Structure 1
Amino acid sequence: MKSELYRTKYGKLLVGDSVKISQSYLRKHYKNKFNLIITSPPFPLNNKKQYGNLQGKEYYNWFISLAPIFSDLLADDGSLVIEIGNAWEPERPVQSLLHLECLFGLVNHPDAGLRLIQEFICYNPSRLPSPAQWVTVNRLRTVDSYTHVWWMAKSDFPKADNSKVLRPYSKSMERLLQTQKFNSGKRPSEHNISPSAFTKDNGGSIAHNLFELEDIDSNREVRLPHNVLSFSNTISNDYYLKKCKQSGITPHPARMNSGLINFFTEFLTDENDLILDPFAGSNTTGYCAEKYKRQWIAIEANEKYASDSIVRFEDPELNSKLKINRKDGM
């Protein structure tokens, strides 16, 4: 049912069906233990991908069946973070409601007790034009350039600390802190701003729930939290992609952005907390968790993707103490 492909100083990757592994091995040994479950499950795409994806009602039933499984594994103050893209109706230039129905199904599942804490939007202008038929061929729609990131939990107050994910101050805010002068008083919104409201240096400004992986306005500096890397999937200078190119490995086509994982790892967990990614792909989550000294477990059904992810932990800067188990012929 499960096969451990490799382990590191802080975690391990299991190969197999994530639902079966979660319902048996994880439920037995890690019930209510995970401080963060973060993942990007297969999207409900109309065209089949190598990494596997369902459609329509079949996808919905599979997706909401995850709710009680994840709830069982989460610590009482733990968080569930899911990234998911938009869906489109087959052969129609009409956006599907499937991803929204999946969200409602998760938080309304009677056996899970989940609630939506906050939604984030991840904007990536480097995404290829999609859906291609209606964007580049017929030119009826605009480019679908963002994904949804849903933060859910079993409690209204999951562990979180936004002071750990501050954005750099803007140039104008830096000047304000230096001069200690700004236009206080009543605003058109009827908010009354006191003379001392913005004079304290807190080390940065509070993060927004919109992530710009590249700048929307070229004249404005992107101010992502310090631990969120400003890069898109087109950048090829990280260790994983360099190593894949050197080794003739085709990278996983739907890698979760490491900046997102860094952000939620810092925001929602502490050192040595336990993180799970049940749809690991190239195991970006395990890599980020290792970097931030979090315990982690990752599950990947595709043996090739699982094996290819080993190269992440060969990064000499990580010092991961990688131990590979190839008894099963992988």
Structure 2
Amino acid sequence: MLLEQLADRSVSLVMTSPPFALQRQKEYGNLDQDSYLDWIMKFAEVVKRKLRDDGSFVIDLGGAYQKGIPSRSLYNFRLLIRFVDELGFHLAEDFYWFNPSKLPSPIEWVNKRKMRAKDSVNTIWWLSKTAWPKADVSKVLTPYSDRMKKLLADPAAFYKPKLRPSGHDIGAAFSKDNGGAIPSNLLNVPNTESNGQYTAGCRLAGTTMHPARFPAKIPAFFIDMLTDPGDVVVDIFAGSNTTGWVAEQGARRWLSFELDKNYVAASVFRFLPEELPDTKRLELYQRLRDGESGIDLSKLSSSPTLFDVAIAG
């Protein structure tokens, strides 16, 4: 495990989306639910040692049904409890990623028998090594609603301060422009990307795209909130390397680990400038596919970058 080679207490954030514990085998690899918990725990144990004392471990987990019956599995909740009870992690906060564009699934219970609503929410556990991880919600404020913009423009005309039934005193503090609203722990992010440098590059190379990519807004939210420029961000199940690309845009140092050489090689398309000729794109893809590592892209891009992707054993 290459994660073992990192120095203890050197990582600010591990942001990852591992293969889920699904009943039907996927091409990117996944284990049955009984084996899954022990498998993930081995990684989480190492993650805890590598995190700084103010570091965070954020893990995205999709839901699943029990085999052959329309009852939900509790594997993602059992995993959370084991993280806390056995490894000593703190649950800083539970997040829920709502993907409104997700197709109806599972087919048997939703489409065929029409017994269940479609599964469109993933659980995202924000875990920390101590009770006081580094975090700044002001970095991930959301746009104000039209109603709030009217209030900010003319508080006296739009709203009269009063005590709400809950006991909150809605007064002058709520008419202050803070640059945006505090986000909720429900992340409404559609996963609809069908065009982009990564997908275009995969088509150019005639290679298979990773089938379980999460949208850049998910890792961006946590990277912005939990780290600063120069901090180290790690993804231990990188896939198409969305996390690494987002970390690069935010001037974080990053490492991404992925078993499949083809996924590692194809992820280079995320980092290449649009004006780069197709012949050069293919050359870089082929060099990575053939096992070359540490490819320096700084001369190809306006912003220096080191393509620091490792093939994890």
TM-score range, shorter chain: 0.7 to 0.9
1:54 to 4, 7, 31: 31
Cα deviation code 1:203-235 (max 9, x no counterpart): 11111111112xxxxxxxxxxxxxxxxxx3333
2:181 to 191, 200, 205: 205
Q: Which amino acid aligns with 1:210?
A: L
Q: Tell me by how many angstroms 1:311 deviates.
A: 1.2
Q: For the residues of structure 2 that align with 1:248 and 1:322, how far apart are their CA atoms?
A: 25
Percent identity of paired positions between Structure 1 and Structure 2? 40
Q: Which amino acid aligns with 2:110?
A: V
| Residue of structure 2 equivalent to 1:189 | 166
Relative contact order, CA 8 A, sep 6+: which one is greater?
1
Q: Tell me by how many angstroms 1:240 deviates.
A: 1.4
Q: Which amino acid aligns with 2:120?
A: S
Over the aligned positions, Cα root-mean-square deviation in angstroms equals 2.0
| Residue of structure 2 equivalent to 1:16 | none
Q: Which amino acid aligns with 1:122?
A: W
Name the TM-score, length of structure 1 as normaliser.
0.81
2:104 to 129, 133, 148: 129
1:179 to 154, 158, 162: 154
2:67 to 90, 107, 119: 90
For structure 1, which runs of at least 5 residues remain unmatched after alignment?
Answer: 1-19, 214-231
Q: For the residues of structure 1 that align with 2:118 and 2:308, how far apart are their CA atoms?
A: 41
SS in 1 for 2:56: strand
Distance change in 2, residues 1:125/1:74 (3 Å): same
1:246 to 204, 222, 229: 204
Q: Which amino acid aligns with 1:209?
A: N
Q: Tell me by how many angstroms 1:256 deviates.
A: 2.1
SS in 1 for 2:175: coil
The answer (yes or no) to whether the contact 1:313–1:322 under 8 Å persists in 2 is no
| Residue of structure 2 equivalent to 1:255 | 213
| Residue of structure 2 equivalent to 1:22 | 3
For structure 2, which runs of at least 5 residues remain unmatched after alignment?
Answer: 275-300
Q: For the residues of structure 1 that align with 2:307 and 2:181, how far apart are their CA atoms?
A: 41
Corresponding position: 1:44 with 2:47: no
1:118 to 81, 93, 97: 93
SS in 2 for 1:64: helix
Quick check: 42-51 or 56-65, which moved more?
Answer: 56-65
Corresponding position: 1:291 with 2:249: yes
Q: Which amino acid aligns with 2:42?
A: S
The answer (yes or no) to whether the contact 1:236–1:242 under 8 Å persists in 2 is no
Distance change in 2, residues 1:169/1:189 (3 Å): same
Q: For the residues of structure 2 that align with 1:104 and 1:67, how far apart are their CA atoms?
A: 13
The answer (yes or no) to whether the contact 1:291–1:318 under 8 Å persists in 2 is no
2:77 to 83, 94, 100: 100
Q: For the residues of structure 2 that align with 1:129 and 1:100, how far apart are their CA atoms?
A: 23
The answer (yes or no) to whether the contact 2:191–2:214 under 8 Å persists in 1 is no
Q: Tell me by how many angstroms 1:304 deviates.
A: 1.3
SS in 1 for 2:173: coil
The answer (yes or no) to whether the contact 1:38–1:81 under 8 Å persists in 2 is yes
SS in 2 for 1:314: coil
The answer (yes or no) to whether the contact 1:290–1:318 under 8 Å persists in 2 is no
Q: For the residues of structure 1 that align with 2:184 and 2:34, how far apart are their CA atoms?
A: 34
Q: For the residues of structure 1 that align with 2:93 and 2:70, how far apart are their CA atoms?
A: 29
Quick check: 305-314 or 236-245, which moved more?
Answer: 236-245
| Residue of structure 2 equivalent to 1:163 | 138
Distance change in 2, residues 1:318/1:64 (3 Å): farther
Q: Tell me by how many angstroms 1:249 deviates.
A: 2.6
| Residue of structure 2 equivalent to 1:300 | 258
1:150 to 122, 125, 147: 125
Q: Tell me by how many angstroms 1:58 deviates.
A: 0.8
The structure with more helix, counted as a fraction of residues: 2
Cα deviation code 1:167-222 (max 9, x no counterpart): 1111111111110222311112232223x121211111111111112xxxxxxxxx
| Residue of structure 1 equivalent to 2:294 | none
| Residue of structure 2 equivalent to 1:67 | 44
Q: Tell me by how many angstroms 1:128 deviates.
A: 1.8
Cα deviation code 1:100-124 (max 9, x no counterpart): 1111111111xx3211010111111
The answer (yes or no) to whether the contact 1:60–1:102 under 8 Å persists in 2 is yes
| Residue of structure 2 equivalent to 1:265 | 223
